[in-house]
Amino acid sequence: MKKDAENRRRDREPAVARRVTRRVFYGTVGVGGDSPVSIQSMSTFPAAAVEEAGAEIRALSQAGCEIVRVAVRDDQDVMALERICSASPIPVIADIHFDHRLAVSAAGRGVAGLRINPGNIGGEKKVMEVVEAAARAGITLRVGVNAGSLEKELRSLYEKDQPRALCESANRQLGIIERSGFRDLVFSLKSSSAAVTVEANRLFAAGNDYPLHLGVTEAGPPLSGTARSVVALTQLLGAGIGDTIRVSLSGDPVREIIVAAAVLSSLGLRDDFPRVISCPTCGRCHLEVAGMAEKLERILPGRAGKMTVAVMGCEVNGPGEAREADIGIAGAKQGAVIFRNGRIVKKIEKDFFENLISEIDKFSLEEDPE
């Protein structure tokens, strides 16, 4: 049965040869080296909103997020980090701007990493205090260069050559930090322009072997932001550059995870996420396809491994696609039909989503596709 299911699964795109990078860790999650490209997001709540941030982090983890960043704005946020980290199912990175002392205090409070921005943390001495704190705590430091907050000295270069200015900022920090012997570093070079992000990362990646966190900053509202992110990520990941990614979108961060997982799967860089296919619907549709497919994308990574689920609206293309998937549902005049491994297992007239989930859970338990 397992082999049949495997054969029915669509062929994945070929894997991309990745740039050779050194490996660092956020907790148990490796970034760089031969670790798979990981998915990150950021809570929309500050650390001090422990309950809200905690619930959001659980939802992100359930959708497939592997590393999460939390904003640390003041001492209250620093004090909340231990509770956030101990309740989080995934490693937490403290995101700090402006005040390096917050980064120093955050380092020993359960976080798996720190993220600072050299453009606003306040010069070499302060950066080095953060580096020493990260080294003492045995955690990873991300140096995140952003076009919107470059060091003053680089602004005239930025006017002339944006990618080179971003790369120069990251290289300066690298030079300063490397003198200390600290190597648990991840770099990111972000702009709201996909083209600038791509070129800046290409330039930086050519000169060293530190892992890169990729993303287009301030990418935008969900649809246009997704397009901008996918354009940049596809070019860089397709060239083997990038070790961890964030798709920045306004609104619910769970959407970021769904897009990131689809990008990595489509490029053949990850094949361990469940895949949902669904029809665009038309006047023949008998089912609430869009709602079911969206719900599945949010909850499947938390309850199923590598599998394909098809949600199809009617008897035209429905049975064909549903048969090809591991589990599929196809609308019919009298309700819907559920397929498993190409065979009909249920005809139902109501509770479509609940029945589909119950078949998915049975499939995961009984066939263990991994």
- Which positions lie near ligand SF4, rule CB under 6 A? 279-282, 284-285, 312-314, 316-318
Nearer to ligand SF4, 107 or 292 (CB): 292
Return the closest-CA partner of residue 261 out of 302, 322, 289. 302
The Cα–Cα gap between 370 and 239 comes to 28
Task: Name the minimum Å distance from CB 319 to ligand SF4.
Answer: 9
Task: Name the minimum Å distance from CB 283 to ligand SF4.
Answer: 7
Task: Name the minimum Å distance from CB 332 to ligand SF4.
Answer: 10
Task: Name the minimum Å distance from CB 313 to ligand SF4.
Answer: 3
Q: SS in 3 state form for 260-327? A: HHHHHHHCCCCCCCCEEEECCCCCCCCCCHHHHHHHHHHHHHHHCCCCEEEEECCCCCHHHHHHHCCE
Strands (E) located in 32-156: 38-46, 67-71, 92-96, 113-116, 140-146
Angle at CA of residue 15, ends 211 and 186, nearest 5°: 5
Nearer to ligand SF4, 59 or 316 (CB): 316
Return the closest-CA partner of residue 282 out of 310, 318, 317, 313. 313
Nearer to ligand SF4, 225 or 313 (CB): 313
Across the beta sheet with 113-116, what order do the strands follow?
185-190, 140-146, 113-116, 92-96, 67-71, 38-46, 244-245, 213-214
Between the CA of residue 78 and those of 83, 93, 324, what are the distances in Å? 10, 12, 50
Nearer to ligand SF4, 16 or 316 (CB): 316
Task: Name the minimum Å distance from CB 335 to ligand SF4.
Answer: 14
Nearer to ligand SF4, 242 or 319 (CB): 319
Nearer to ligand SF4, 55 or 285 (CB): 285
Nearer to ligand SF4, 250 or 317 (CB): 317
Task: Name the minimum Å distance from CB 259 to ligand SF4.
Answer: 23
Task: Name the minimum Å distance from CB 289 to ligand SF4.
Answer: 7
Nearer to ligand SF4, 14 or 280 (CB): 280
User: 181-212 burial string, b = 16+ CB within 10 Å, else e?
Assistant: eeebbbbbbbbbbbebbbbbbbbbbeeeebbb
Task: Name the minimum Å distance from CB 328 to ligand SF4.
Answer: 11
Select the residue whose beta carbon is closest to ligand SF4 and give its number.
Answer: 313
The Cα–Cα gap between 368 and 364 comes to 5
